[in-house]
Structure 1
Amino acid sequence: MNRTIKKVAVLGSGVMGSRIAAHFANIGVQVLLLDIAPKELTPDEEKKGLTLDSPLVRNRIVNSSLEAAVKASPSPLYRKADVSRIKTGNFDDNLKEIATCDWTIEVVVERLDIKKSLFDRVEQFRKPGTLITSNTSGIPIHLMTEGRSDDFKRHFCGTHFFNPPRYLKLLEIIPTPNTDQSVVDFLMHYGDLYLGKTTVLAKDTPAFIANRVGVFAIMDVLQVMQKLGLTVEEVDKLTGPVIGHAKSATFRTSDVVGLDTLINVANGLAQNLPNDEARDAFQLPEFLRKMGENKWLGDKTGQGFYKKVKGEGGKSEIQALDLGTLEYKPSAKVKFATLEATKPIEKLADRFKVLAAGKDKAGEFYRQSFAGLFAYVSNRIPEITDALYKIDDALRAGFGWEMGPFETWDALGVQAGVELVKTNGKQLAPWVEEMLAAGNTTFYKVDAAGVKQYYDAETKSYKAIPGVENFIILDNLRASGKVLWKNSGASVIDLGDGILNVEFHSKMNTLGTDVIQGLLKGVDMAEQGYRGLVVGNDAANFSAGANLGLVYMYALEQDYDEINMMIAQFQQAMMRMRYSSIPVVGVPHGLTLGGGCELNLHADKVVAAAETYMGLVEFGVGLIPAGGGTKEMVLRTAAKYEEGEPELNLLRNTFVTISMAKVSTSAQEAFDLGFMRRGDEVVVNSNRAIMAAKQAAIDLADAGYTMPTQKTNIKVHGKNALGMFLTGVHAMKEGRYISAHDQKIAEKLAYVMCGGDLSAHTEVSEQYLLDLEREAFLSLTGERKTLERIQSILTTGKPLRN
């Protein structure tokens, strides 16, 4: 059947329920969020004379939960206003309303009896044929269907979201033997396309896929660290970004999530996996058991593996737990020769051989932990999944690993991994050596068409990963010879169908000379026989902006001619891209700051990932946007002048956006700030963004794209608006809201946005505004306080207010 999701009921408004509700609201779905009605009044309610029958009381629990979610940081909502799509209620008064919902998601406490009792009531009101799913991380899905109707069973499934649902991409789909295949197919597709998830089909085994392997990896690390006598700080250094894991690594992450969660999942696995060859790994070490007894559960109780204390002079300092004595001590800096050897290696996949070859304690840690992990995942096929890529997908999307276990094994070398497993006395699944014996030396490979394939243990052959036809993965195209041109900062890649892509690969994708050269080369090549150009990449962030280090170096040397030339070249590249004969589509995602934002402002169209944090942040380093950013925002503001709102109000709003260095918290908010405009698109699943951008470029070309002409009629207000800005800025300075240097930067920004001190409003050209913004930028690079701000960002990563 054709199925449309217009309204979803979420039963349970706790941390997970309220945030699942928020994410459905993000994508435009109406949500009914329900929870229990209170059984007693609070003292405040009694004072107000309320009763248990008062509507405010009956919905107190659900409303409080939703309010807490809305206030949370980072926000579960793309826009605060999206909360209006969520209607609250309670199980007693409003459960009947699930009859109007297309999908009911149960997210109550992790107790089978409570879930089954709620399902008894759900069956009274649920409309036959609608979806019914449970969000559980540990209870077997099939047990929940006992006593249910056939229609309920056919439409019931496990949908395991990871917290926080907006940000963690994993959604495990766990069917029962009675679930209709059409329901499974729909949930896999809907989760991917509409919720932006990496949807992974899992078997109904304890902890499913991600938690089964992820918690094993953590518990195994605890065993290895005890054998080697490593400290908490040392393990976090070894298990963080150097191996593609979160900066919070093992123990800081455990503190944030809560040690009670780790303890509960580990205990559950130890009890429910009698035949797991590594079952002993889930037994709690003595220190973890005692931490649980002491309620040292991490951030929620104020201490866990780390604790923040007041040091000398009242300054906060972080102390780490000594696992031998269970006493806290000041965190120590960690240094290993093996880690030092990986510093010049930027590509993650190239580090693993160096790490495993280390001659110090770090090298031994990696050899033992890799051996345990490789052995474990090999033995989980076919127990928890038939396909190895699902394990990698689940760990990347659920635990934030850049590379999954099998991808890591490939990077190290499959044969080398097998030898590590054997050397460390672990048990390997036979299919791995059978694969090698047949001459298949990798778990993954890319075919000539750029399609990634995985080794299928059952058929002993390689198969295309399902769903990859919806994604464009630049690494796969690179592996299949689709790179047409490259330098150290950028590549031009053929996406097929007459569309090229410019990819950045500088550090943090900063926009230096090489990247600008690559962008111009991409435009030139596209104009000479192609139909369009996409500017996108697969990195964690689109771009952190212009190369500040270069600006700082030239400014220290007072080489202003070089700075002037550099800014002029950047401006010219933006204008060349904007006024080319082919359509150019930008694909921002993650951090899209400064020059990265300016680049997308000059694209014909933007196809942004929902998680795009875009902004003109130059003010924070004592500068103003000068890569066409100020010009473009003035141009966009002037284009709104005929819409009825007072012109100076519109200009003031734009001034505030730039002077406060506002950054969108989502692509949706980028529309509100003027960085995206009508006609631009948002793609919830970032994996689909480049494919969607390619299609957008094709559509523009098919519609008869014509090269636009530069604007010469941009309305600026001169002294009339400038006086308003200068007065406002002066008042802010006198009120001590801003510093004298903030005032100077703001006045220069106002001067540019007003078109200078013209005597009356005038129409000017884009080049006129580009010259003004470049002159203002240059003058600010000669200011000592600006250089201090730039130095602070470059050395500490923190903005300086001086």
Structure 2
Amino acid sequence: MSAQRVIKKVAVLGSGVMGSRIACHFANIGVQVLLLDIVPKDAPAGDKKARNKIVNDALEFALKSNPSPIYLKSFAKRISTGNFEDDMPKIAECDWTIEVVVERLDIKQTVFESVEKFRKPGTLITSNTSGIPIHLMAEGRSEDFRKNFCGSHFFNPPRYLKLLEIIPTKDTSPGVVNFLLEFGEKFLGKTTVLAKDTPAFIGNRIGVFSIMSLLHYVQKTGLTVEEVDKLTGPVIGHPKSATFRTNDVVGLDTMVHVANGLFKNAPDDEANELFEIPDFVNRMLTNNWLGSKTGQGFYKKEKVDGVNQFYALDLKSLDYKPSQKVKFAALETTKTVESLKDRLKILFASKDKAGDFYRATSYQLFAYSSKRIPEIADELYKIDAAMNAGFGWEMGPFEKWDALGVEDTVKEMEASSNKPAKWVYDMLESGAKSFYVIENGKRMYYDIPSKAYKVIPGTEDFILLKNITATNTVWKNSGSTITDIGDGILNLAFHTKMNTIGGEVIEGINKAITLAEAGYKGLVISNEGANFSAGANVGMIFMMAVEQEFDELNAVIKAFQNTMMRIRYSSIPVVAAPHQMALGGGCEMCLHADKVVAHAELYMGLVEFGVGLIPGGGGTKEFALRLSDELQDGDIEVNNFRERFLTIGQAKVSTSAYEAFEFGYLKKGRDVVVVSQNRLLAEAKRHCLQMAEDGYTQPVQRTDIKVLGKQALGLAYVGANTMYSGNYISEHDVKISQKLGYVLSGGDLSQPSLVSESYLLDLEREAFLSLCTEKKTLERIQSILTGGKVLRN
């Protein structure tokens, strides 16, 4: 990255839904933000509060929204607000100005005219437009402005959707483009894609085509809303919201706006007629059935006799009917197929209505995507990257095509009048049979001009397990894989359902540590699943408890505890690299690692209370230990105890890695946060290697943990009984709270005492097992297993 360009302060012009949330995401990464918007009509001069009402209300609304656009509420202090009339001169202090005002060219040009009066030469200026040609906005601006100007199209919500399209004009400096591509990926955690200044750029061009072609197919075949969402959700690697639920969330008017823009601005597109809005969609617009924002769209929810009733729109009659569960034979046959690649092959080969749907809509998409090169992008990987990051597709069009087999699929596409672009035939004739290959641990794409495979730019520093596991696997069992990631560091990944921790994962952890201690420098625990780990296998615990196999259950819990302690007390450094959910046992694993290198999007917590238990894999012990280490002379010790007690008792889950520090799951000064998930494993490896090379010393088990005994235990008992008296918790909650308080306080000790980790682990295990004998605990576990719902009985 250019040494002389540093981003310390950013101005965001426009505080609407996108602007306020872009501002929040820059604040997330430590940048100071100036957020500006228009002055309300009739706001008197000199009345700062009145003149900043629009921007302040917008920011306040954003900060209260769920999911939150900001990692930690205190980060909002990095955002200062103002208005265009009084505060535009302040952009002279900013390194980057981002325009996010209303989608009208004349208004944007007026804003840029004002920006040019005040911005410092050489600073970045970009537009977040999703539809207006970038070059038109730069017309009439100075050479320095045009050289440092381009499009920077974030997807909503900017914190969570990873796509950032960078769209230069012919005047944009290559150095600016390269800087933004790297900054977006490395610091904002985005998949940054270089796009051309064409209608809807890459993501929306392909995404909206996919939606519109599907709408026309539905109109022709009569598939229902529920059927389409069943077919286009997780079964094919798309988000749970699938097609119509996604439309309801985004807003039908938004989708139609982009489609109309494409119909008007891409007249030479061979599929232009597909961007015409179907009749039933126009009628929905007339009725103002736009989705969540108007209370109804393709779905609506109503209370009937106090119970939520869900309805789906009948696309023929435009009447709402009770939402129906649908089944397809093809989908039933793939329920146990974990691999998406294998699943797609089965689905596309099926001869039922589902197979017809997949072949018709996907072959059309494959052909369309191939013909957009080089119109919207020169390289095919950019189209896949945009769909992965902007629409949450696990596989983009070319990746799905690869999974099905390019050559065979081309023949089927021809038979269905969906002939792909000529370059696809040229590729096959050259001997290349796939769009991607993996060589030397790097993923390479087929480069059309050179007819050769090239490494995807910007990925050189990534370590991705999916690219190296096939060649670097050291050991594996049914639930875990140990991979050599180079420089003497091993990685342990688990791949059970939801990455839950059972016997196979426990075996994998112990084997990984044994191997690392015998001939390696260190161990990283990370994986590339949707979540790091949803915790211990509660189904196994439930079965043992129901069968009253308590000796066996005791042995299982002890083995879990011993394994967590082995993570802590091995002779090599162990680094955990969690992402997304790290709950229960997954959290306990991180608590015992020497260091945690966490992805910023980390939802971490000890959640056992929700199933009628306390943390039994060393989590309660670890909170007692950390409480002891935090106690300072003069502290009101019971206050510190209360905080730790409530974190577990309320099953608090962090909404980001930064909040995990606040809850005490991560340690300040030891653990670190990485915003780019693609860099997570490489960063974890770096820290692990550094610890080894700095002369890692095997720790000694603790015997000096200060516990508070009766004074803290009394607080736990009184607090629980008070909550029960106020009808805030149930009688069973009181029992769990008392067990938790007993372990955290070190038992019924007459005075504060020093105890060992093994003493606390014994207390923890005894409490855990005793709760497993409780009928109400088993009812709670059963509720989670059968319906995924927390039962408060």
Same structural fold, with TM-score higher than 0.5 when normalized by the shorter chain: yes
1:743 aligns with 2:734: yes
| 1:625 partner SS | coil
Amino acid at match of 2:26: F
1:623 aligns with 2:633: no
1:390-412 deviation per Cα after TM superposition (whole angstroms, max 9, x unaligned): 11111010001111111111111
| Alignment match of 1:655 (pick from 631, 638, 645) | 645
Kept in 2, the 8 Å contact 1:793–1:799? The answer is: yes
Amino acid at match of 2:11: A
Kept in 1, the 8 Å contact 2:32–2:79? The answer is: yes
Counterpart-to-counterpart distance in 2, 1:434 and 1:149: 44
Kept in 2, the 8 Å contact 1:225–1:365? The answer is: no
Counterpart-to-counterpart distance in 2, 1:500 and 1:238: 39
After TM superposition, the structure 1 stretch with the greater mean CA deviation from structure 2, 51-60 or 205-214, is 51-60
Kept in 2, the 8 Å contact 1:228–1:365? The answer is: no
Partner residue, 2:569: 579
1:297-324 deviation per Cα after TM superposition (whole angstroms, max 9, x unaligned): 011111111111233x332211111111
Partner residue, 2:512: 522
Kept in 2, the 8 Å contact 1:202–1:384? The answer is: yes
Amino acid at match of 1:18: S
1:119 aligns with 2:109: no
Counterpart-to-counterpart distance in 1, 2:634 and 2:584: 30
Cα distance 1:619–1:436, how it changes in 2: closer, same or farther (>3 A)? same
| Alignment match of 1:701 (pick from 669, 673, 692) | 692
1:95 aligns with 2:88: yes
| 2:566 partner SS | helix
Counterpart-to-counterpart distance in 2, 1:653 and 1:738: 18
Partner residue, 1:38: 40
1:770 aligns with 2:761: yes
1:330 aligns with 2:322: yes
Counterpart-to-counterpart distance in 2, 1:340 and 1:729: 47
Structure 1 position 424, deviation (Å): 1.4
| Alignment match of 2:459 (pick from 468, 477, 480) | 468
Give the TM-score normalised by structure 1: 0.98
Counterpart-to-counterpart distance in 2, 1:12 and 1:643: 50
1:195-254 deviation per Cα after TM superposition (whole angstroms, max 9, x unaligned): 010110111111000000001011111122223221111000000000011111000000
Structure 1 position 417, deviation (Å): 2.0
Kept in 2, the 8 Å contact 1:39–1:52? The answer is: no
Counterpart-to-counterpart distance in 2, 1:225 and 1:388: 28
Amino acid at match of 2:729: I
1:449-470 deviation per Cα after TM superposition (whole angstroms, max 9, x unaligned): 2111111111111111112222
Partner residue, 2:487: 497
| 2:437 partner SS | strand
Counterpart-to-counterpart distance in 2, 1:290 and 1:151: 48
Counterpart-to-counterpart distance in 2, 1:405 and 1:676: 39
Partner residue, 2:387: 395
Partner residue, 2:48: 55
- Which structure 2 residues correspond to residues 17-416 of structure 1 after superposition, within 5 A? 17-40=19-42, 51=44, 53-311=46-304, 313-416=305-408
Structure 1 position 53, deviation (Å): 4.2
| Runs of 4+ more than 6 Å apart | none
| Structure 2, gaps ≥5 residues long | none
Amino acid at match of 2:302: V
| 1:763 partner SS | strand
Cα distance 1:162–1:793, how it changes in 2: closer, same or farther (>3 A)? same
| 2:747 partner SS | coil
Structure 1 position 644, deviation (Å): 4.9
| 2:485 partner SS | strand
Structure 1 position 279, deviation (Å): 1.0
After TM superposition, the structure 1 stretch with the greater mean CA deviation from structure 2, 785-794 or 470-479, is 470-479
Partner residue, 1:437: 429
Kept in 2, the 8 Å contact 1:263–1:292? The answer is: no
RMSD: 0.9
Counterpart-to-counterpart distance in 1, 2:601 and 2:409: 36
Partner residue, 1:47: none
Counterpart-to-counterpart distance in 2, 1:495 and 1:568: 31
Counterpart-to-counterpart distance in 1, 2:24 and 2:162: 15
Kept in 2, the 8 Å contact 1:140–1:206? The answer is: yes
Amino acid at match of 2:389: A
Structure 1 position 646, deviation (Å): 2.1
Amino acid at match of 2:335: K
| Alignment match of 1:726 (pick from 717, 728, 732) | 717
| 1:362 partner SS | helix
Kept in 1, the 8 Å contact 2:557–2:616? The answer is: yes
Structure 1 position 645, deviation (Å): 3.1
Kept in 1, the 8 Å contact 2:410–2:419? The answer is: no
Structure 1 position 52, deviation (Å): 5.7
Counterpart-to-counterpart distance in 2, 1:420 and 1:702: 56
Kept in 2, the 8 Å contact 1:10–1:105? The answer is: yes
Counterpart-to-counterpart distance in 1, 2:681 and 2:739: 37
1:545 aligns with 2:548: no
| 2:533 partner SS | coil
Structure 1 position 71, deviation (Å): 0.3
Counterpart-to-counterpart distance in 1, 2:330 and 2:219: 20
1:602 aligns with 2:592: yes
| 1:591 partner SS | strand
1:517-545 deviation per Cα after TM superposition (whole angstroms, max 9, x unaligned): 01111000001110010000011100000
Cα distance 1:438–1:770, how it changes in 2: closer, same or farther (>3 A)? same
Structure 1 position 362, deviation (Å): 0.7
Amino acid at match of 2:432: N
1:741-796 deviation per Cα after TM superposition (whole angstroms, max 9, x unaligned): 00000000000001100111110000000000000000000001000100011111
Partner residue, 1:45: none
Amino acid at match of 2:218: M
Partner residue, 2:679: 688
Tell me the percent identity.
63
Kept in 1, the 8 Å contact 2:544–2:552? The answer is: yes
Amino acid at match of 1:8: V
The alignment covers a number of residue pairs equal to 790
Kept in 2, the 8 Å contact 1:533–1:582? The answer is: yes
Kept in 2, the 8 Å contact 1:567–1:774? The answer is: yes
Structure 1 position 280, deviation (Å): 1.3
Structure 1 position 358, deviation (Å): 1.1
Kept in 1, the 8 Å contact 2:182–2:458? The answer is: no
Counterpart-to-counterpart distance in 1, 2:278 and 2:42: 41
1:560-596 deviation per Cα after TM superposition (whole angstroms, max 9, x unaligned): 1111011000000011111011100000100000000
Structure 1 position 419, deviation (Å): 2.0
Give the TM-score normalised by structure 2: 0.99
Kept in 2, the 8 Å contact 1:577–1:602? The answer is: yes
Counterpart-to-counterpart distance in 2, 1:490 and 1:644: 47
After TM superposition, the structure 1 stretch with the greater mean CA deviation from structure 2, 343-352 or 505-514, is 343-352
Amino acid at match of 1:141: I
Kept in 2, the 8 Å contact 1:270–1:282? The answer is: yes
1:371-390 deviation per Cα after TM superposition (whole angstroms, max 9, x unaligned): 11110111011111111111
| 2:460 partner SS | helix
